[in-house]
């Protein structure tokens, strides 16, 4: 583990982190303040949406994402009421029925560096014939891969990011899975999550608190021209290992997973106004990595991660002792918390340093990303 950078103390005596992710945190914070439980979901959506900023080779694709969570848990609020309304120039309104024939009637502008959102993929595809589904998936397969699609004298060219949602209740059902071809699904990184009962209660409280309030305005830093971001060679082996892990678990084929990871890192660096990927970008990817395999946001591991992320958004660090105290107050065992913190250190998913203070019998760690 590399030596951690020194932090500084703020006015109230809490250590401030020296993270290079502050610009991303500024975008995520208003979303997580409004939409409870989305601390770890919003950054993935934002980073992947902004892969449209990257200068890509013809064989590289942007990061399209499939959000898989229970009905009524915020997909529509995030995608439409926050992101699309805040960025209408970049999030075009799509046809009410996403048939291939309807897509091809749209003006060329809709295909040129845009982010497409749909909050329910099953609803989008339901009611279509087998041929219509094949045509629609054929469009996505071709356009997301090559940036070009043509049929019956109409050819469209450009580059898009697709951020689509699907209710986990439907995703688990056989008929819904059979509705989509594997080649189509391989072009979407699934982000799978569910809330436990405690988060459900907090979600309801947040909805009551926000009743009558307008969702936050979150203007994403889209670029007029694509930009180039470098990845240092020292990260190549780890990127390949992560791609193989996604392939082994049947999430995405290794070559597409490799492109996904590279673009995630490059986009994260670009959001934070850097032209080269750094260790902080890798830490964020490791920190959010479990969501690519499906998580319960209420388990101990994810609760600790959410706690550290919330502190990091405020530019603060959080001591392991404070994390343990808060979790023990919620009937979580100390051994479970220690196990999670040890795992985060060993996997390099957090920045940390040893600290000591009055009354402590031994050194403790403080954490941030």
* CATH domain 23-296 topology: Rossmann fold (3.40.50)
Question: Residue 280: its pLDDT value, please?
Answer: 97
Specify which residues 284 forms β-bridges with.
Answer: none
Under DSSP, the state recorded for 93 is P
Q: How many helices (H) and strands (E) does the chain have?
A: 17, 12
Query: Residue ranges per domain, the chain?
Result: 8-17+315-368, 23-296
Cα(8)–Cα(104) distance, integer angstroms: 55
C-alpha torsion sign, points 46, 83, 200, 73: negative
Decide if 200 contacts 297 (C-beta within 8 A).
no
pLDDT (tens digit per residue) in 182-225: 778 889 999 999 888 888 888 888 888 888 889 999 999 999 99
Would you place residue 3 in the very low, low, confident or very high pLDDT band (cuts 50, 70, 90)? very low
* Average of per-residue pLDDT values in the chain: 89
What is the percent of the chain with per-residue pLDDT over 70, rounded to a whole number?
Answer: 91
What is the percent of the chain with per-residue pLDDT over 90, rounded to a whole number?
Answer: 69
Question: Residue 168: its pLDDT value, please?
Answer: 81
Cα(32)–Cα(323) distance, integer angstroms: 20
Over residues 131-147, mean pLDDT: 91
Would you place residue 171 in the very low, low, confident or very high pLDDT band (cuts 50, 70, 90)? confident
Alpha helices (H) in 289-333, listed in sequence order? 300-313, 320-328
pLDDT (tens digit per residue) in 291-328: 999 999 999 999 999 999 999 999 999 999 999 999 99
Cα(187)–Cα(208) distance, integer angstroms: 37
Cα(291)–Cα(163) distance, integer angstroms: 15
pTM of the model: 0.91
Cα(275)–Cα(269) distance, integer angstroms: 7
269 or 74: which carries more pLDDT confidence?
269
CATH number for the segment(s) 8-17+315-368 = 1.10.10
Question: Residue 183: its pLDDT value, please?
Answer: 79
Is it the case that residue 251 has pLDDT exceeding 50?
yes
Which of 34-38, 89-93, 232-236 shows the lowest per-residue confidence on average (mean pLDDT)?
34-38
Would you place residue 363 in the very low, low, confident or very high pLDDT band (cuts 50, 70, 90)? low
Question: Residue 330: its pLDDT value, please?
Answer: 87
Q: Among residues 274, 265, 266, 327, which one has the least CA distance to residue 301?
A: 327
Cα(165)–Cα(177) distance, integer angstroms: 14
Is it the case that residue 40 has pLDDT exceeding 90?
yes
Decide if 150 contacts 140 (C-beta within 8 A).
no
Q: Pull the structure tokens for residue 94.
A: 């799509």
Which of 33-42, 58-67, 161-170 shows the lowest per-residue confidence on average (mean pLDDT)?
161-170
Q: Pull the structure tokens for residue 358.
A: 């009055």
Neighbours of 245 (CB within 10 A): 15
Neighbours of 338 (CB within 10 A): 13
Is it the case that residue 1 has pLDDT exceeding 50?
no
Question: Residue 206: its pLDDT value, please?
Answer: 83
Q: Among residues 109, 55, 87, 100, which one has the least CA distance to residue 267?
A: 55
* Edge-first strand listing for the sheet containing 159-167: 112-118, 159-167, 65-69, 189-194, 295-296
Specify which residues 282 forms β-bridges with.
Answer: none
């Amino acid at each position: 583990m590399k030596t951690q950078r020194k932090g500084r103390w703020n006015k109230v005596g809490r250590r401030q982190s020296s993270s290079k992710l502050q610009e991303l945190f500024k975008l995520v914070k208003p979303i997580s303040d409004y939409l409870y439980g989305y601390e770890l979901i919003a950054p993935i959506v934002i980073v992947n949406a902004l892969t449209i900023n990257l200068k890509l080779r013809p064989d590289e694709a942007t990061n399209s994402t499939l959000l898989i969570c229970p009905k009524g848990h915020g997909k529509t609020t995030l995608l439409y009421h926050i992101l699309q309304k805040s960025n209408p120039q970049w999030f075009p309104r799509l046809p009410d029925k996403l048939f291939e024939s309807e897509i091809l009637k749209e003006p060329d502008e809709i295909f040129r560096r845009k982010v497409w959102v749909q909050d329910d993929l099953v609803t989008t595809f339901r009611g279509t014939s087998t041929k219509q589904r094949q045509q629609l998936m054929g469009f996505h397969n071709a356009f997301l891969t090559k940036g070009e699609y043509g049929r019956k004298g109409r050819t469209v060219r450009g580059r898009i990011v697709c951020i689509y949602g699907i209710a986990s209740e439907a995703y688990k059902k056989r008929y819904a899975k059979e509705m989509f071809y594997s080649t189509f699904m391989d072009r979407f990184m699934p982000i799978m999550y569910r809330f436990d009962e405690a988060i459900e209660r907090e979600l309801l409280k947040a909805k009551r608190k926000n009743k009558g309030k307008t969702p936050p305005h979150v203007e994403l830093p889209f670029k007029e021209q694509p930009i180039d971001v470098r990845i240092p060679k020292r990260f190549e082996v780890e990127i390949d290992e992560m791609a193989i892990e996604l392939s082994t678990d049947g999430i995405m084929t290794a070559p597409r997973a490799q492109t996904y990871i590279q673009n995630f890192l490059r986009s994260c660096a670009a959001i934070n106004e850097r032209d080269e990927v750094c260790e902080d970008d890798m830490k964020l990817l490791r920190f959010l990595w479990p969501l690519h395999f499906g998580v319960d946001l209420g388990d101990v591991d994810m609760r600790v991660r959410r706690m550290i992320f919330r502190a990091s958004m405020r530019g603060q660090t959080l001591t392991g002792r404070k994390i343990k105290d808060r979790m023990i107050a919620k009937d979580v065992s100390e051994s479970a918390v220690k196990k999670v913190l040890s795992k985060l250190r060993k996997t390099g998913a957090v920045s940390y340093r040893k600290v000591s203070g009055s009354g402590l019998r031994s050194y403790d760690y403080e954490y941030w990303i």
